[in-house]
Amino acid sequence: MQGIAFGPTIRLLRQAKGISLREMARQLGVSPAFLSQIEAGRQHKIPRARIVQVAETLGVSEGYLLGTAKQVHPDLMKFLSETPEAAEFMVTAMRSGMMGQDFTHLREIVSDKKLRAGVLKPVAISSKKKPGVSHSLDAHVDMSLCISGVAVQNKERLFQRFVKAVAKKNKNISSDLLLDRLEARERQAPTSIGGGVAIPHAFLQGIEKPLVGAFLLQRAIPYGPLDSDRVKTVFFLVGREGNTEHHLPILARIARLCSTPEFLQVLSKAKSGRDIQKTILAWDARIGSA
């Protein structure tokens, strides 16, 4: 593992999953001190069997774990250690399923002070619109993609229902292509983030701005490899291909909302697309400006 940020990546993923150092060490069958050494980058000779075990414990594929570790540049890791709010953003984004290659774009954001400020300090909703793509959710939540009482039996049916709704509103978007992109992203690692919430997302050409939708399911459905990994609240994000600098902050805002139990409780009572949209925007303004 010499030359890649394997240990620090494990630590960030562990934090994103909400697993304590002691608990993960217990699951791996090692001492907390040994795991701490791995996370600190002081253990370089790690057998493949142990890497596979770590990936399984974190609920990601071996390829995702190693691919992400290769993308975490030392400069980025140094910045994260010196900037707590940046580390918090990164953990939030990872919790929402950020892919390994996204770290390249995150590094670009980190090196650009203006972009970094926009990512780490989301602006409150303002009546004065600025040009470009806003990170606040009011510019992206589409009421026609917000549906309550959705009755589906599995993830496949869920995705089919969503892409059909997107293609109906956006004639230039291929439902088959969007479905392929969503499913390809899920094969990297399930986008469930705990608490009965998932944030599936994909990139597409041909859309003017990122689209956000939200489905409230009638019943929780299986979503990940674990029996306990079931979801009932699903946020969808369709980003513009080549514009990851907007995709990551929006993902982080959604994940931040969904980490607030009170928000999920209020959202679960929404009876219509308009109710869902109003609840999301009201809480985004409230939390984003906090």
Choice between 207 and 237, residue whose per-residue pLDDT is larger? 237
Q: Which domain holds residue 99?
A: 6-120
Q: What confidence category does residue 122 fall into, taking pLDDT thresholds of 50, 70 and 90?
A: very low
d(CA 193, CA 258) in angstroms, rounded, equals 9
Mean pLDDT of 91-100: 64
pLDDT beyond 70 at 227: no
* Residue at 165 is within a domain: yes
* Residue at 212 is within a domain: yes
Same structural domain, 54 and 167: no
CA angle 49/87/213 to nearest 5° reads 90
* Domain edge (last residue) among 73, 88, 120: 120
- Answer for the pair 241, 204: CB distance below 8 angstroms, yes or no: yes
DSSP secondary structure string, the chain?
-TTS-HHHHHHHHHHHHT--HHHHHHHHTS-HHHHHHHHTT------HHHHHHHHHHHTS-HHHHHHHHHH--HHHHHHHHH-HHHHHHHHHHHHTT--TTHHHHHHHHHH-HHHHHHHHSPPPP-SSPPSS--SSGGGTEEEEEEEEEE--SSHHHHHHHHHHHHHHH-TTS-HHHHHHHHHHHHHHS--EEETTEE--EEEESS-SS-EEEEEEEEEEEE-SSSTT-EEEEEEEEEEETT-HHHHHHHHHHHHHHHT-HHHHHHHTT--SHHHHHHHHHHHHHHHHT-
Choice between 98 and 269, residue whose per-residue pLDDT is larger? 269
Give 68's strand partners: none
The CATH number given to whatever domain includes residue 220 is: 3.40.930.10
Choice between 206 and 261, residue whose per-residue pLDDT is larger? 261
Q: What is the pLDDT of residues 137-183, one digit of tens each?
A: 998 999 999 999 999 999 999 999 999 999 998 888 889 999 999 99
* Residue at 59 is within a domain: yes
Same structural domain, 38 and 141: no
d(CA 203, CA 205) in angstroms, rounded, equals 7
* Domain edge (last residue) among 86, 120, 154: 120
pLDDT of residue 132: 46
Same structural domain, 149 and 108: no
pLDDT of residue 104: 61
* Residue at 131 is within a domain: no
Percentage of the residues of the chain whose pLDDT score is greater than 70? 73
Same structural domain, 100 and 145: no
Total tally of structural domains belonging to the chain: 2
* Residue at 125 is within a domain: no
pLDDT of residue 192: 83
DSSP secondary structure string, 3-23?
TS-HHHHHHHHHHHHT--HHH
Same structural domain, 40 and 142: no
* Among the ranges given (4-8, 66-70, 223-227, 255-259), the one the predictor scored with the smallest mean pLDDT: 223-227
Same structural domain, 84 and 215: no
* Residue at 127 is within a domain: no
* Residue at 17 is within a domain: yes
pLDDT beyond 50 at 257: yes
Same structural domain, 113 and 145: no
Same structural domain, 108 and 144: no
Same structural domain, 142 and 105: no
Same structural domain, 150 and 278: yes
Same structural domain, 172 and 242: yes
Average pLDDT over the chain, rounded to an integer: 80
* Residue at 216 is within a domain: yes
* Domain edge (last residue) among 120, 148, 174: 120
Same structural domain, 110 and 245: no
The CATH number given to whatever domain includes residue 98 is: 1.10.260.40
